[in-house]
Amino acid sequence: MPVPLQTALLELFGSAFGDPAPGEVCFAPGRVNLIGAHVDYNEGPVVPIALDRGTLAAARPGQDGRIRLVSRDRPERIEFDLEASADAPLEGWSAYPIGLCRAFRRAGHALGGFDLAVAGDLDIGAGLSSSASLLVACARALRAAFGLELSDEQLALLAFAAETEHVGVSCGIMDPMASALARPGHALYLDCRDRSYEHLPFPREQVSVILVDSRTRRDLASSRFNERVAECAEAVAELSRVRPEIRALRDVHIADLERSGAALRPEVERRARHVVEEIGRVHRFREALAAGDHVTCGALVSASHASLRDLYETSTSALDFLVKEICNVPGALGARLTGAGWGGCVVALLERGAEQRVQDAVAPRYLQVFGQQARFHLPRQETTS
Ligand code: GLA
Gap between the Cα atoms of 279 and 283, Å rounded: 7
Q: Which residues of 5-15 are buried (b: 16+ CB within 10 A; e: fewer)?
A: beebbbebbee
pLDDT per position as a tens digit, 196-246: 999 999 999 999 999 999 998 766 546 888 899 999 999 999 999 999 999
The closest of 175, 165, 140, 169 to 155, measured between CA atoms, is 140
Provide the pLDDT for residue 384: 38
Distance 29 CA to ligand 1 centre (A): 16
Q: How confident is the model at residue 1 (pLDDT cuts 50, 70, 90)?
A: low
Pocket test for ligand 1, best of 124, 174, 219, 314 (most atoms within 8 A of CB): 174
Query: At a CB cut-off of 8 Å and minimum separation 6, what does 102 contact?
Result: 82, 86, 162, 166
For ligand 1, atom 2, name the residue with the nearest CA. 171
Check if the beta carbon of residue 167 is closer than 8 Å to that of residue 90: yes
Q: Which atom of ligand 1 is nearest to the CA of 33?
A: 12
Question: What single-letter amino acid sits at 273?
Answer: R
pLDDT of 382 > 60? The answer is no
Distance 129 CA to ligand 1 centre (A): 9
- Bigger pLDDT: 81 or 136? 136
Please list every protein residue whose CB sits less than 6 Å from any atom of ligand 1.
33, 37-38, 40-41, 127, 171-172, 174-175, 220, 339-340
The catalytic residues are 175
Distance 133 CA to ligand 1 centre (A): 14
Provide the pLDDT for residue 222: 67
Q: CA angle 144-171-277, nearest 5°? A: 125
Q: Which atom of ligand 1 is nearest to the CA of 36?
A: 12
Lowest-confidence region among 181-185, 217-221, 344-348: 217-221
Pocket test for ligand 1, best of 175, 195, 219 (most atoms within 8 A of CB): 175
User: CA dihedral in degrees (380, 320, 362, 201; nearest 10)?
Assistant: 30
Provide the pLDDT for residue 126: 76
pLDDT per position as a tens digit, 260-300: 666 899 999 999 999 999 999 999 999 999 999 999 999 99
Q: Which residues of 122-155 are buried (b: 16+ CB within 10 A; e: fewer)?
A: bbebbbbbbbbbbbbbbbbbbbbbbeeebebebb
For ligand 1, atom 1, name the residue with the nearest CA. 340
